[in-house]
């Protein structure tokens, strides 16, 4: 797939089951703070605190957590521009901080708040530079450029100096720049930050296609949970540098110990239904709202209601993950205090 001088299949550890591997990875920052005239206090910040996970080739993973959780720090270590303070980290079998340049040919990076594009020059100039920098064969460069320009709707922007682009246009320009050399993995640090609904939808659509059709592995951080809901089957939650959750999006509900709501329409007004562990939280005429643990099967509950009550119609409301995650963060904070 990637036309680089290193053949992935010959590399130890670069097999399909673990394309990205972190084992007890840590990053500790030494922060010096002035506390008075000539007085300085040294403090250590554990930005990433013993994180382990693996990502197989071709997966699209969401990496979320509150501000300062350590997401960007993790991505910087994955690209090799930060050296871990401890633990073991491999991408395609390569230690990123040791062989940053060799790895660079195989990865693409978009930092939503920064740009790789040449500020004062037309967008196309930046792409020509990528062509040289990644030594992309001419035919492939042209093919990739055409495809990206079409998919990301850039044709009208190629001659525009980057400083004149809007945020959404620039972001699309940056995403294209990160993909011209057919990277095997794409790291996106807040790719939808500051974009409007339409731009977000376009970027998401593009990423979905990229992952599905080219098999590009994607690791994405975001504060917009819709990004995750629409793109990622797997999500990792990090807080204070620790991995709090790693699994399917649906499973977050169990961990967050949240509730789903079953809305039932009965034939007539009745007293509150009794089907433990569900409990009625609201009654409005013949309609009743039953909250039940998200981990419980809705089917079983529905069957019981249907057997015991005159049921006309029903619907299940999933809790939105924002609530779930907020709850998770809050619980974590509580535990930290006590």
43 scored as a contact of other proteins (CB under 8 A):
no
> Which element (helix H / strand E) includes 282?
strand 279-284
> Which element (helix H / strand E) includes 48?
strand 39-55
CA distance 138 to 49: 44
Please select the residue that binds ligand ATP; options are 5, 10, 35, 67, rule is CB under 6 A.
67
Q: Closest Cα partner for 262 from 286, 294, 229, 284?
A: 294
Interaction residues for ligand ATP, span 70-89 (CB under 6 A) = 70-73
Lookup result for tokens 């972190």: 22
CA distance 262 to 301: 9
24 scored as a contact of ligand ATP (CB under 6 A):
no
User: CB of residue 152 vs Mg ion: minimum separation in angstroms?
Assistant: 23
| 3-state helix/strand/coil string of 126-187 | HHHHHHHHCCCCHHHHHHHHHHHHHHCCCHHHCCCEHHHCCHHHHHHHHHHHHHCCCCCEEE
Q: Among ligand ATP, other proteins, Mg ion, none, what binds residue 45 when CB lies within 5 to 8 Å by partner kind?
A: ligand ATP
Q: Is the CB of 76 or the CB of 260 nearer to ligand ATP?
A: 76
User: Encoding tokens for residue 220?
Assistant: 């994405």
- Site mask, other proteins, residues 101-120, x = CB under 8 A? xx-xx-x-x-x-xxxx-x-x
User: Encoding tokens for residue 43?
Assistant: 């403090």
Q: Among other proteins, Mg ion, ligand ATP, none, what binds residue 312 when CB lies within 5 to 8 Å by partner kind?
A: none
CA distance 118 to 100: 22
Q: How many residues form the binding site for other proteins (CB under 8 A)?
A: 34
Contacting range for Mg ion; rule: CB under 5 A; set: 64-72, 194-202, 259-267, 317-325: 64-72
User: CB of residue 327 vs other proteins: minimum separation in angstroms?
Assistant: 24
User: CB of residue 34 vs other proteins: minimum separation in angstroms?
Assistant: 12
72 scored as a contact of Mg ion (CB under 5 A):
yes
Q: What are phi and psi of 335, to 5 degrees?
A: -60, -35
129 scored as a contact of other proteins (CB under 8 A):
yes
User: Encoding tokens for residue 323?
Assistant: 């609530």
165 scored as a contact of ligand ATP (CB under 6 A):
no
Please select the residue that binds ligand ATP; options are 2, 45, 201, 298, rule is CB under 6 A.
45
Q: Closest Cα partner for 251 from 271, 273, 234?
A: 234
Lookup result for tokens 């196309």: 124
Please select the residue that binds other proteins; options are 34, 39, 132, 268, rule is CB under 8 A.
132
Q: Among other proteins, Mg ion, ligand ATP, none, what binds residue 65 when CB lies within 5 to 8 Å by partner kind?
A: ligand ATP
Q: Closest Cα partner for 250 from 264, 271, 229, 231?
A: 229
Note whether 290 and 279 are within 8 A (CB): yes
Please select the residue that binds ligand ATP; options are 20, 55, 60, 65, rule is CB under 6 A.
65
Interacting residue ranges for other proteins, rule: CB under 8 A: 29, 68, 71-72, 76, 79-83, 100-102, 104-105, 107, 109, 111, 113-116, 118, 120-121, 125, 128-129, 132-135, 161, 189
Interacting residue ranges for ligand ATP, rule: CB under 6 A: 29, 31, 45, 47, 65, 67-73
Interacting residue ranges for Mg ion, rule: CB under 5 A: 72
């Amino acid at each position: 797939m990637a036309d680089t001088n290193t053949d992935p299949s010959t590399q130890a550890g670069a097999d399909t089951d673990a394309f990205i591997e972190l084992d007890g990875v840590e990053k500790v920052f030494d922060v010096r703070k002035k506390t008075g005239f000539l007085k300085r206090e040294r403090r250590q910040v554990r930005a990433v605190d013993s994180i382990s996970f693996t990502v197989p080739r071709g997966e699209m993973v969401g990496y979320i957590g509150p501000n300062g959780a350590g997401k960007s720090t993790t991505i910087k270590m994955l690209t090799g521009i930060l050296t871990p303070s401890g633990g073991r980290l491999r991408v395609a079998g390569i230690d990123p901080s040791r062989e940053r340049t060799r790895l660079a040919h195989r990865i693409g990076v978009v930092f939503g708040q920064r740009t790789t594009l040449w500020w004062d020059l037309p967008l196309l100039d930046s792409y020509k530079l990528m062509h040289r920098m990644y030594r992309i064969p001419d035919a492939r460069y042209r093919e990739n450029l055409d495809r990206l320009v079409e998919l990301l709707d850039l044709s009208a922007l190629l001659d525009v100096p980057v400083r004149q682009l809007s945020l959404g246009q620039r972001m699309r320009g940056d995403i294209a720049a990160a993909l011209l050399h057919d990277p095997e993995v794409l790291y996106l640090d807040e790719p939808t930050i500051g974009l409007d609904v339409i731009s977000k939808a376009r970027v998401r659509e593009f990423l979905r296609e990229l992952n599905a059709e080219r098999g590009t592995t994607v690791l994405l951080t975001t504060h917009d949970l819709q990004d995750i809901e629409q793109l990622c089957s797997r999500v990792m939650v990090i807080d204070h540098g620790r991995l709090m959750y790693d699994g399917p999006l649906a499973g977050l509900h169990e961990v967050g110990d949240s509730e789903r709501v079953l809305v039932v329409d009965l034939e007539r007004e009745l007293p509150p239904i009794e089907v433990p562990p569900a409990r009625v939280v609201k009654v409005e005429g013949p309609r009743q709202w039953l909250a039940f643990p998200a981990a419980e099967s809705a089917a079983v509950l529905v069957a019981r209601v249907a057997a015991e009550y005159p049921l006309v119609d029903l619907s299940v409301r999933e809790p939105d993950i924002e609530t779930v995650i907020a709850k998770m963060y809050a619980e974590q904070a509580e535990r930290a205090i006590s």
